Structure 1
Amino acid sequence: MACYGVVHLLLAYLALRVAFGGGEQADQKGALQEAGSTAFGQVLLWVLALGLVAFGLWQFLMAATGYTWVSGGKRTRKRLGAGARGVVVIALGVSAFGLATGTGGGGSSNQAQQEFTAELLRLPAGPALVVLAAVAVLAVAVAAGVKGVRQTFLEDLDATGLPGKRKRWVGWLGTTGYLAKGVVFAVTAILLGYAGFNADANQAGGLDAALKTLAAQPFGVVLLTVVALGLAAFGAYCFAAAWAHKR
């Protein structure tokens, strides 16, 4: 989970560079490439690869047997979320392994989103399916925002590891981070929906396109800087959650 936090801190750094005119690949692979460019890049990539795969496997285990401290539908939702998170994190770990070994690491988030959209558009009622996918991503965005505002993520943390003032800081970091992720997911959903309405896969985009779309808006520098700080806050929250998460 700490490695997942490092990825978000690097994402925040790339987003800030985009906000002030940089042309970097501002997505998860870009963050891993940024890690590899440091003086200890190869070592850091191997640490991130091993850590992300371990985190992903733990999420799969949580999806199968975890969240016993909640019951009913909430437990099911948390387990489904853990399973989805496990898929994403394992994919990041595989990308890190590819970069560490020089065998690749997958394409950008924009390329992956466009390929996914193109495959959907080839199906019967393809544009409608793309719009439905956009609605699903928008639902994820809303869920992230609600989770941040209601601070339900604190239910997953051991209160004995976060006494008093420290818990308030973790709550603030988590709220800020989840709201920032909600904004990014929402922009991604808008791009995907636009691609569906126009039956044009090239108009879809992933995290990189979402951040650059924010930068292109009026007051884009301010808006993207706020989102970048939110992503950094989520990275910091991951460190706290790694310390105090319930097993």
Structure 2
Amino acid sequence: MNARVLAGTGHANAGRAANGSAAKGAARAGLTARGVIYLLVGVLALQIAFGTGSRQADRSGALAELADKPFGAVLLWALGAGLVGMALWRLSEALFGVTGKDGRTARKRLPAAARCVFYAFVAYSVLAFAAGAGGGGSSDRQSRDVTARAMEMPAGRWLVGAAGAAIVVAGVVIGVQAARRTFHKKMKLGGLGPRVRRLVDVTGVAGGAARGLVFAGAGAFALRAAVEYEPDRAKGMDDTLRSFADTPLGPWLLVGVAAGLVLFGVFSFTLARWRRV
């Protein structure tokens, strides 16, 4: 009897270890893939700011840029596989709980489920692009199309407005959390030297602030589209980034935000290496 109990316990521990290793591998691959996309979007936005860019500064532009590189097709498939890993990691968090305090509560698991759905869509679009199916087109067109369809629904105007407000709030939260360096709680920083910790802090704070600003800007345009009942007011990442050049600060705000997105890409690489999973 005791032997059977011990055997069962051993099998359970082995299963948990295997699941843990799989989750870690999926998380590392997904965070790396996310970093590549943000890095490329930031570079494309910098090119736009300096008048040398011809591609959309969004996911579709990043994929087109990657496709032009040597072994581009292989890189696209690898990127898609990494994002599938990200979706699976978030799915495991939704099903079994998130690492850290209160990780099994609904407050932590529901956002993980939402992230799973989001990254599953992103992974599908990347794999569709790699397969030659287009990948869904530019973020600007997608935003306008989704907004127009939503406004045709009963109370659609209110739905779009609520979604826009939620995205604005999400952007503010992302920026505040970056400034407060809450990412420290999710990372294994104990054994890192001062230079590496400085890299994590600079990329995490500046990159998170830039990402939050882009979210807030896109949400504000969706909110404006709802208020004015004009779906074309909604903007994707590319048009949101370009709008920063129309502020009193001119192209320099776009330069700053674009550089921040590059830094967020680098920060995603540090997460892939040192995040607790």
Alignment partner, residue 28 of structure 2: none
Alignment partner, residue 120 of structure 2: 90
Establish whether residue 37 from structure 1 lines up as the match of residue 68 from structure 2. yes
Residue number among 214, 217, 225 corresponding to 1:195 in the alignment: 225
Code of the aligned partner of 2:263: A
Code of the aligned partner of 1:103: A
Code of the aligned partner of 1:215: A
Code of the aligned partner of 1:241: L
The more displaced of 214-223 and 172-181 is 214-223
* Runs of 5+ consecutive residues of structure 1 not aligned to the other structure: none
* Runs of 5+ consecutive residues of structure 2 not aligned to the other structure: 1-30
Alignment partner, residue 215 of structure 1: 245
3-state SS of paired residue (2:208): helix
Alignment partner, residue 233 of structure 1: 263
Establish whether residue 48 from structure 1 lines up as the match of residue 90 from structure 2. no
The runs of at least 4 consecutive aligned structure 1 residues that moved more than 6 Å come to: none
Q: How many equivalent residue pairs?
A: 246
Deviation at 1:92, TM superposition (A): 2.2
CA deviations 1:198-232 (Å, max 9, x no partner) are 11111111111101111222333110110011111
Alignment partner, residue 25 of structure 2: none
Alignment partner, residue 101 of structure 1: 131
Cα RMSD (Å) of the superposition?
A: 1.9
Deviation at 1:179, TM superposition (A): 0.5
3-state SS of paired residue (1:235): helix
Instruction: State TM-score, norm by structure 1.
Output: 0.92
Matched-pair contact (CA < 8 Å) for 2:102–2:108: no
Alignment partner, residue 25 of structure 1: 56
Q: Percent identity?
A: 39
Distance, in Å, in 2 between the alignment partners of 1:230 and 1:82 is 25
Alignment partner, residue 3 of structure 2: none
The more displaced of 189-198 and 162-171 is 162-171
Deviation at 1:78, TM superposition (A): 4.1
CA deviations 1:177-200 (Å, max 9, x no partner) are 110011101111121111111111
Distance, in Å, in 1 between the alignment partners of 2:50 and 2:272 is 32
Deviation at 1:72, TM superposition (A): 7.2
Deviation at 1:163, TM superposition (A): 4.5
Code of the aligned partner of 1:177: G
Distance, in Å, in 2 between the alignment partners of 1:52 and 1:129 is 29
3-state SS of paired residue (1:159): coil
Code of the aligned partner of 1:63: A
Matched-pair contact (CA < 8 Å) for 2:178–2:204: yes
Alignment partner, residue 64 of structure 1: 95
CA deviations 1:129-176 (Å, max 9, x no partner) are 222111111111111011101111121112345344422321221111
Alignment partner, residue 38 of structure 2: 8
Say if 1:87 and 1:161 are closer, same or farther in 2 by CA, change over 3 A: farther
Instruction: State TM-score, norm by structure 2.
Output: 0.82
Distance, in Å, in 2 between the alignment partners of 1:237 and 1:62 is 21
Distance, in Å, in 2 between the alignment partners of 1:8 and 1:225 is 15
Deviation at 1:76, TM superposition (A): 4.4
Rg larger in structure: 2
3-state SS of paired residue (2:56): coil
